[in-house]
A and B are shown apart, each in its own frame.
Chain A
Amino acid sequence: MWKRDEAVKPTAGPATPSSPAAVSQEVSAVAAPKPPDTRQQIGRDMVNIGKSVVIKGELNGSEDLTVEGHVEGKIELKDHVLTIGPNGKIKAQVFAKAVIVLGEINGNVTASEKVDIRDGGSVDGDIISPRVAIAEGAHFRGSVDMQRKGVAAGMQPQAAQVQQPQAPKPAVAAAAH
Chain B
Amino acid sequence: MALSDLFNRKRKGDGDADAGPIDAPGHPTKALPKFLSCLANRSQPVLLDLGPVVGSNVTFLGEHLGCKIFVENLFKDIDRHVFEEKIGELPAFFEKRFPQDDASVDGILCWDVFDYLDLRTAYVLAHQLSRILRPGGALLAQFQAAAVQKPGPPTYTRYVVVDPATLQYRPYAAARGQQKVLPNRDIQRMFEPLQVTEQFLLKTNIREVLFRKTASTVAAPPTSAARPE
* A interface residues (Cβ-Cβ under 8 A, vs B): 5, 12, 86-87, 102, 104, 117, 119-120, 122, 131-149, 151, 169-172, 175, 177
CB contacts (< 8 Å) of B65 on chain A: these are 148
A177 CA / B52 CA spacing, docked (Å): 13
A135 CA / B17 CA spacing, docked (Å): 9
Interface size class of B (residues with CB under 8 A): 35 or more
Q: Pick 12 A–B contacts, CB within 8 A, sort by A.
A: A5-B1, A86-B5, A104-B12, A120-B9, A120-B12, A132-B62, A136-B17, A144-B68, A145-B68, A147-B66, A148-B63, A148-B65
B55 on interface, CB distance cutoff 8 Å:
yes
CB contacts (< 8 Å) of A5 on chain B: these are 1
A70 CA / B144 CA spacing, docked (Å): 46
A177 CA / B93 CA spacing, docked (Å): 13
- What's the minimum C-beta distance from A43 to chain B, rounded to whole angstroms? 20
Q: How many A-B residue pairs have CB under 8 A?
A: 100
Contact code string B4-26 (vs A, CB < 8 Å = 1, else 0): 01001110110111010010000
- What's the minimum C-beta distance from A158 to chain B, rounded to whole angstroms? 13
With beta carbons under 8 angstroms apart, the residue of A102, A135, A149 that contacts B55 is A135
B80 on interface, CB distance cutoff 8 Å:
yes
CB contacts (< 8 Å) of B70 on chain A: these are 142-143, 172
Contact code string B143-163 (vs A, CB < 8 Å = 1, else 0): 000000000000000000000
CB contacts (< 8 Å) of B13 on chain A: these are 119-120, 137-139
CB contacts (< 8 Å) of A141 on chain B: these are 53, 71, 73
CB contacts (< 8 Å) of B76 on chain A: these are 177
- What's the minimum C-beta distance from B162 to chain A, rounded to whole angstroms? 15
Closest to B67 in A: A146
Known: A119-B13, A170-B99, A172-B99. A133 touches B66 (CB 8 A): no
B38 on interface, CB distance cutoff 8 Å:
no
A139 touches B68 (CB 8 A): no
B44 touches A148 (CB 8 A): yes
CB contacts (< 8 Å) of B68 on chain A: these are 143-146
With beta carbons under 8 angstroms apart, the residue of B19, B66, B71 that contacts A140 is B71
